[in-house]
Structure 1
Amino acid sequence: MITFREKKLKMVWEMSKDGFTSFLVGTAHFFPYSFKESLIHLISKADVTLFEGPLDENNMEAVREYGVARQDGMSLYDSLDEKTIAELNKELGESAEFSGCSLSSYISVFKREHHDLLSQEIEGLRPWMAFFKLWSHYLAKRGWKHSVDLEALSVSRELGKKVVFLETIEEQLTALDGIPFERIVTYLSNFRNWGKFSRHHEKQYLKGSLDSLLNIISGFPTRCPSIVEHRDPVFFTRMRPYVEAGNAVVFLGTTHIQGIVKMLEQEGFKVSQYSK
């Protein structure tokens, strides 16, 4: 039974070729609702589930350790205007406890005794780590305590399914380092519109409206070649043997779905959004 804090997952595509069928799920790394019943429905029938990169505790810790290593010549704080700094300091100064999503727990917890909290919290971090620290804090504070990726991985393990990761942690970190510094600065400078962005994102994701969602997140820092266009062919090549064999469920961030669907169709797959 689907509960109040649980929704039906609609970002799902069916992939078929030569009589074999698999599923592709566009994930939200942070979200205010659970999709556990939908995930159980999909994963229970699968032989294998595939994810972008390793999500275990050791690899998450490796991401954190790498992210706190200073990147020379890039001061995110110094690149922000005074108004944005004031807004972010106000956000960080309004107390809220972290709970729920373990992605947030790896890039938390905020100390509050310093008058310039922003400088304190992002000093010495790689720009992408600083951004995700602020972004995850903002979302968790507003109840975005779930992660489709982590929930799907948990269900897969509960059901005893084979789990495959499509990239190494080293490949993932290289991609993160490729996020343009200017995109991060621009998105942080637009902090006053984060509420509108997150509400629209939630609405379109729940509807399963991929095109509308991609329009909303066009300015998000990770909508860039190192994260999307450079990784899509790698994901496709590595997932292909599994989807050709059938009974696989592939979990990729929503920004990858458009490119992956195009590659599937070019290789003779019939792809349609799954509505059952």
Structure 2
Amino acid sequence: MTISAFSFLSRRLAFAVDAGLWLLAGLHGLLFASFLVVVTLASGARAEDGACAGHNLLTEMQQDDPDAYRRIVAEGDAVPNGKGLFWKIEKAGLAPSYLLGTMHVTDPRVLALPKGAPEAKAQAKVLIIESDEILDEQKAMAKLMTKPQLTMMMDGKTIQSYLTRAETEQLQTALKARGIPLGAVSRMQPWMLSSFVALPACELVRKAKGAAFLDMQLAKDAIRAGQPVKGLETMEEQLSAMASIPTEFHLKSLMEMLALGGRMDDVMYTMTELYLSGDIGLTMPMLKAVSPDGSDEEGYAEFEQRIVTARNHIMAERARPLLEAGGAFMAVGAMHLVGEEGLVSLLRADGFTVTAVP
């Protein structure tokens, strides 16, 4: 797939959202317990019942601009392994394993597994997820407290130090819509704020009430069933990868999300719809179409290498011995499955036969 300079914005947005969703989801019992629940209750967040709303941007585009819609579909069709959430992993002499692409949200529709996945998970010898530390929140919190610089600004600065007055007001408005006073999160790293802006108010409310996201629900079910749960990364590794990217780069991502304004809820709604239909390859082209104008690709190669490609290779390497034993059920973010260096391609390069489960 040819990537224009314009699409660098959309790819950065997609992976920033995906990484942020996982980390916020995994930390909801940690960070949220420490301040976000109080913030939400004190400020009266919208969507108190946890119901999400939004419009499917692709459906609207299909009606309003059919040529643009056809171009997006064609671009999505060209993404390697861009269709399908549930994959079968096979190698001669081994019991089959399975790979499920997840979305790190608490949407009840997302929590419902695709056809065949519940049976495959029930029969698995081990569940593999991105980080098994989500199962021991107190231990994870204790570890993260030793390195607060991974999530917080430790130099005395606040997010306002980097923004103009107009940009600060824009951020304040976006956070207020999600029930979060700027003052409560002003010392958080910009990528954390981007994650808050990306999440609809309804998702924040559900998380604040303790709702489990898909990966955590799978892990909890596995523990109850007596299945071992293995993680491919630590939360410190995930946070360190995000923190290793220059602040200026994260600030650009934050401003891009703020520029989307009210459309951000529609973006998340559309991403969820694409996930539910298994059309993961359409995510990037869709985001490219709705991203704010711009062609700045500065820093993107480094971002993609550290946050996407390198993590894909780490996941594949660490999953390999578990998959070589056969009978595993692996569940990681769906964005890690697609592309030439996505997990499906990497596992095939390791000698596994990987096929989408219809």
The interval holding the TM-score normalised by the smaller chain is 0.7 to 0.9
Does residue 273 of structure 2 align to residue 203 of structure 1? Answer: yes
How many residues of Structure 1 are paired with residues of Structure 2 in the alignment? 246
Look up the match of 1:45.
123
Alpha-carbon spacing, 1:15–1:77, altered in 2? closer, same or farther (3 Å): farther
Look up the match of 2:256.
187
User: Paired residue for 2:102, among 9, 12, 27?
Assistant: 27
Q: Aligned partner of 1:30: which letter? A: V
Shift of 1:225: 2.5
For 1:155 and 1:30, the matched residues in 2 are separated by 17
Alpha-carbon spacing, 1:196–1:59, altered in 2? closer, same or farther (3 Å): farther
Look up the match of 2:74.
none
TM-score, normalising length from structure 1?
Answer: 0.75
Residue deviations 1:60-92 (CA, integer Å, cap 9, x gap): 525864355315497533444555544443344
For 1:62 and 1:224, the matched residues in 2 are separated by 29
Residue deviations 1:83-128 (CA, integer Å, cap 9, x gap): 55444433443576xxxxxxxxxxxxx4xxxxxx32x133211222
Does residue 330 of structure 2 align to residue 261 of structure 1? Answer: no
User: Paired residue for 2:87, among 7, 13, 20?
Assistant: 13
For 1:95 and 1:134, the matched residues in 2 are separated by 8
8 Å Cα contact 1:49-1:248 kept in structure 2: yes
Alpha-carbon spacing, 1:199–1:133, altered in 2? closer, same or farther (3 Å): closer
Residue deviations 1:39-60 (CA, integer Å, cap 9, x gap): 5333101000111122131255
Deviates more, 1:241-250 or 1:77-86: 77-86
Look up the match of 2:218.
152
For 1:137 and 1:152, the matched residues in 2 are separated by 23
For 1:190 and 1:243, the matched residues in 2 are separated by 43
Identity value in percent: 23
8 Å Cα contact 2:197-2:258 kept in structure 1: no
Gaps of 5+ in 1: 97-109, 111-116
Does residue 230 of structure 2 align to residue 164 of structure 1? Answer: yes
Look up the match of 2:43.
none
For 1:93 and 1:170, the matched residues in 2 are separated by 29
Gaps of 5+ in 2: 1-50, 52-83, 292-299
Q: Aligned partner of 1:187: which letter? A: E
For 1:27 and 1:62, the matched residues in 2 are separated by 27
User: Paired residue for 2:310, among 221, 230, 245?
Assistant: 230
Q: CA RMSD in A?
A: 3.2
8 Å Cα contact 1:214-1:255 kept in structure 2: no
8 Å Cα contact 2:175-2:196 kept in structure 1: no
2:195 is paired with a residue whose SS is: helix
1:229 is paired with a residue whose SS is: helix
